[in-house]
Amino acid sequence: MIRIGRNVRGARGLLAALALLSLLSAGCNKTQSTQEALDAQLQTLNVPKANVAPFAGKVTVDGQPPALQRGQVLLIMLYDQKNPDKSKRPLYTTCKKDGSFEFYRYVAGDGAPVGSYVVLFAALRPSRGKGLIQPDGLKNLYDDPDKNANNKDFVVEVAPPGKTDYAFNLEMAGKEPGTPGPHAITEIRKD
Position 1 pLDDT exceeds 50: no
Give percent helix, percent strand, percent coil of the chain, each to the nearest 5.
Answer: 25, 30, 50
Position 20 pLDDT exceeds 60: no
CATH fold, domain 52-189, is Immunoglobulin-like (2.60.40)
CA proximity to 121, closest of 172, 51, 157, 64: 172
Spatial distance between the Cα atoms of 77 and 74, rounded to a whole number of angstroms: 10
Spatial distance between the Cα atoms of 149 and 155, rounded to a whole number of angstroms: 6
Position 174 pLDDT exceeds 50: yes
Q: Average of pLDDT values for 16-41?
A: 58
CB atoms within 10 A of CB 122: 28
Calculate the average pLDDT of the chain.
Answer: 83
- Rounded percentage of the chain residues whose pLDDT exceeds 70: 80
pLDDT score, position 11: 42
Q: Average of pLDDT values for 31-46?
A: 71
What 3-state class would DSSP assign to 152?
Answer: helix
More confident residue, 2 or 88: 88
Model confidence, pTM: 0.77
Quote the DSSP letter at residue 174: T
Position 191 pLDDT exceeds 90: no
pLDDT score, position 30: 58
Q: Which of 40-44, 50-54, 169-173 has the lowest mean pLDDT?
A: 40-44
What 3-state class would DSSP assign to 80?
Answer: coil
pLDDT score, position 37: 75
The structural domains of the chain, with segments of one domain joined by +, span 52-189
Fill in the amino acid letter for 171.
E
For residue range 47-98, what is the model confidence (pLDDT) as tens digits? 777 899 999 999 999 999 999 999 999 999 999 988 877 777 889 999 999 9
Helix segments in the chain, DSSP class H? 4-28, 34-44, 145-148
Query: Sign of torsion, CA 172 178 184 186?
Result: positive
Q: Which of 2-6, 116-120, 132-136, 152-156 has the lowest mean pLDDT?
A: 2-6
